[in-house]
Amino acid sequence: MKQNLTRLLIALLLFSTHAIAHQPTFYGREGMIVAHDQEAVEAGLEILKKGGNAVDAAVAVAYALAVTHPQAGNIGGGGFMLIKMADGRQIAIDYRETAPAKSLRDMYLDENGDVIPYKSVFGGLAVGVPGTVAGMQMALDEYGTLSRKKVMKPAIKLAQKGFKVSYQLSRNLEYLYNVTESFPETRRVFANNGNFSKPGDRFIQADLAKTLKLISKHGNKGFYEGPVAEAVVSTILDFKGIMTLDDLKNYKAMNRTPVLGTYKGYEIMSMPPPSSGGIALIGILNLLEDEGLDTLFWHSSAAIQKIVEAERLVYADRSEWLGDPDFIDVPINEMISKEYAGRRKELNDLSTYHSSESVSPWTASEMDSLKRYFKESEETTHFSVVDKWGNAVSNTYTLNWTFGSRVTVKGYGFLLNDEMDDFSAKPGVPNMFGLVGNIANAIEPNKRMLSSMTPTIVMKEGKVVSVLGSPGGSTIITSVLQLILNTIDYKMPPVLAISSPRFHHQWLPDVVYYEPFGLSQETIQSLENQGYEFEIRSWIGESNAIFYDPIYGGWIGVPDPRRGAHAGGY
């Protein structure tokens, strides 16, 4: 009895110091922004303070990141914006890139039908028709309140007058210089031909400022038609691409219906296809809901096993069923239903190791032919915004690989994406994230490639409790998942929920990736004895999130420390 009491007292003491140690640094009653760069946070705050709503601020942040974060912030790429308006409207804006009209299913295969390495990653053929400018315009037109000119002003200023280069950006520009011998315009614009900006230097982007001004003045026409469009097409042709002026002119952002699930009394709203993110996230949560995770120690072998087995099942399904819903029938309702999760578990309980082959939708010979490799370095960037009215925006957008295709549009100062790699170049052969896809995600003209981006908003009785998302390619889904489990099952304070080490499994390769110090030797040993393989990764994701504060009301912003993100509220 006395021993139990002592244990309880120690637990209470530990809990209270732990809670104090993880008190938030960023708190705001009226608004909160969490994004990769401080300048982008300030751009968004400026718009909120001028009376703009969360959508206006999100557009300002997106354009600012296109200046300050050239690895992933963009106008030459695409992404997804999830919006929860205070009046109850739930919106998913799809501004994913599309395949140029001249695309062919086998455009990345050699005469033997084998994938030509990197053809879908670097150069003109890797580029999908960019969606960001159209997506921002749709968001602003339909849900914003301020003019395009107002919300783009901070970004134009950042490009024109420059901003102070961070240590991280300087290292990235050096990296970019080293890998762009065949991309002279990229070296000129971003690396000053080798004399790239050092930490603290001012980085001015006059060409990009000119482009942003054209967009600010003419909207979509300033990007998808006229001199910018002509420069995009001629640059892509120089790099053996196939995009035409018509591809650009015909690009359209889409308003989709968010996917909705529930987890332990919370509502989960996330991104529908062409992202796999929402379906996969809700599918994994459905599998885990009655598995009693809250009764298992965090990162114990039993908890890890259940989560990994649930991820294995859902990523296997992802490879078979998911693609652009305008081209294939995606069984969305089935895949996010609790009944489907129940049926999946009848065949594969989550407390036993199942090889990836055994849960595969593929035949044995197809499985044999799958190459298993996993290339690191996943860019993409996520930011979250809330305003004083209770509108919330969760936005993830990308160039795909760090700095995209490495092709910079001549004279206009922006990089183009390499999103074509997110198609299945050949069904069964993994892309650069090691993700395997099927016919559902095969290349077709004007089709959107499958994504893992998972902008997500968690609600309780319709009220926003958190705004979540992450970069990280295939690890995006599992990063967002762990935020939800950390906060709902393990009741972690927000700062701890974000900073705690993560792990990841994606069906193929059959490996559990984990961050340094993320799993104990005993946990790994016990799971290895059951058949699991483990591999350490440097970091997983950058989950720039916002949480409702139940103590004072208002919002807690948590920039993920993994890549040095920022937050600001007021």
Q: By C-beta, is 120 or 305 nearer to ligand GLY? A: 120
Q: Residues 380, 478, 486, 506: which binds ligand GLY (CB under 6 A)?
A: 380
Our CA dihedral for 32, 37, 42, 43, rounded to 10 degrees, sits at -100
Helix 148-161 and helix 206-218, axial crossing angle in degrees, nearest 10: 170
- CB proximity list for 377: less than 8 A, separation 6 or greater: 401, 402
Q: By C-beta, is 322 or 519 nearer to ligand GLY? A: 322
Q: Which two tokens mark 207?
A: 């060409």
Q: By C-beta, is 380 or 486 nearer to ligand GLY? A: 380
Interface with ligand GLY in residues 439-478 (CB under 6 A): 451-453, 473
Identity (one letter) of the amino acid at 381?
T
Q: Nearest distance from residue 466's CB to ligand GLY, in Å?
A: 21
- Separation between Cα atoms, residue 492 and residue 10, nearest integer Å: 18
Interface with ligand GLY in residues 59-78 (CB under 6 A): none
Q: Nearest distance from residue 78's CB to ligand GLY, in Å?
A: 9
Q: By C-beta, is 471 or 518 nearer to ligand GLY? A: 471
Q: Nearest distance from residue 321's CB to ligand GLY, in Å?
A: 16
**Nearest in space to 474 (alpha carbons), one of 497, 451, 455:** 451
Q: By C-beta, is 122 or 548 nearer to ligand GLY? A: 122
- Give every strand in the sheet of 463-468, ordered side by side: 26-28, 555-558, 545-548, 463-468, 456-460, 266-270, 259-263
| In the complex, residue closest to ligand GLY by CB | 451
User: Number of helices and strands (H, E) in the chain?
Assistant: 19, 19
Q: Nearest distance from residue 570's CB to ligand GLY, in Å?
A: 32
Interface with ligand GLY in residues 185-224 (CB under 6 A): none
- Separation between Cα atoms, residue 504 and residue 304, nearest integer Å: 10
Q: What are the Cα distances from residue 87, in Å, to 28, 45, 389, 458?
A: 21, 22, 9, 16
Bridging pattern class, strands 463-468 and 456-460: antiparallel
Q: Nearest distance from residue 230's CB to ligand GLY, in Å?
A: 27
Taking residues 473 to 512 in sequence order and writing x for each that binds ligand GLY by CB under 6 A, - otherwise, the string is x---------------------------------------
Helix, strand, coil in percent for the chain, rounding step 5 = 40, 15, 45
- Separation between Cα atoms, residue 317 and residue 351, nearest integer Å: 19
Q: How many residues bind ligand GLY (CB under 6 A)?
A: 8
Q: By C-beta, is 233 or 476 nearer to ligand GLY? A: 476
Taking residues 410 to 429 in sequence order and writing x for each that binds ligand GLY by CB under 6 A, - otherwise, the string is ------------x-------
Q: Nearest distance from residue 501's CB to ligand GLY, in Å?
A: 22
**Nearest in space to 463 (alpha carbons), one of 396, 393, 391, 388:** 391
**380: annotated active-site residue:** yes
Q: By C-beta, is 77 or 568 nearer to ligand GLY? A: 77
Q: Nearest distance from residue 304's CB to ligand GLY, in Å?
A: 24
State yes or no: residue 53 binds ligand GLY (CB under 6 A). Answer: no
CB contact at 8 A, 77 and 385:
no
Taking residues 248 to 277 in sequence order and writing x for each that binds ligand GLY by CB under 6 A, - otherwise, the string is ------------------------------
State yes or no: residue 515 binds ligand GLY (CB under 6 A). Answer: no
**Nearest in space to 235 (alpha carbons), one of 188, 186, 196:** 186
Identity (one letter) of the amino acid at 187?
R
Q: Which two tokens mark 483?
A: 């935020």
Instruction: Quote the Cα angle for 420-423-425, to 5°.
Output: 95
Q: Nearest distance from residue 213's CB to ligand GLY, in Å?
A: 28
**Nearest in space to 243 (alpha carbons), one of 84, 412, 458, 97:** 97
Choice among 68, 235, 380, 381 that is catalytic: 380
Q: Nearest distance from residue 400's CB to ligand GLY, in Å?
A: 4
Q: What are the Cα distances from residue 110, in Å, to 89, 322, 422, 543?
A: 48, 26, 19, 38
Give the SS3 label for residue 386: strand
- CB proximity list for 250: less than 8 A, separation 6 or greater: 101, 446
Q: Nearest distance from residue 296's CB to ligand GLY, in Å?
A: 30
Q: Nearest distance from residue 124's CB to ligand GLY, in Å?
A: 18
Q: By C-beta, is 452 or 543 nearer to ligand GLY? A: 452
Q: By C-beta, is 325 or 568 nearer to ligand GLY? A: 325
- Separation between Cα atoms, residue 93 and residue 79, nearest integer Å: 9
State yes or no: residue 398 binds ligand GLY (CB under 6 A). Answer: yes
Give the SS3 label for residue 262: strand
Residue 2's H or E segment, with its range, is: helix 2-21
Radius of gyration of the chain measured on its C-alpha atoms = 23
Q: By C-beta, is 40 or 480 nearer to ligand GLY? A: 480
Q: By C-beta, is 473 or 568 nearer to ligand GLY? A: 473
Strands (E), 271-325: none
First to last CA, the chain: 49
The residue whose two tokens read 């294995």 is 312
> Residues with catalytic annotation?
380
Positions in the binding site for ligand GLY (CB under 6 A): 380, 398, 400, 422, 451-453, 473
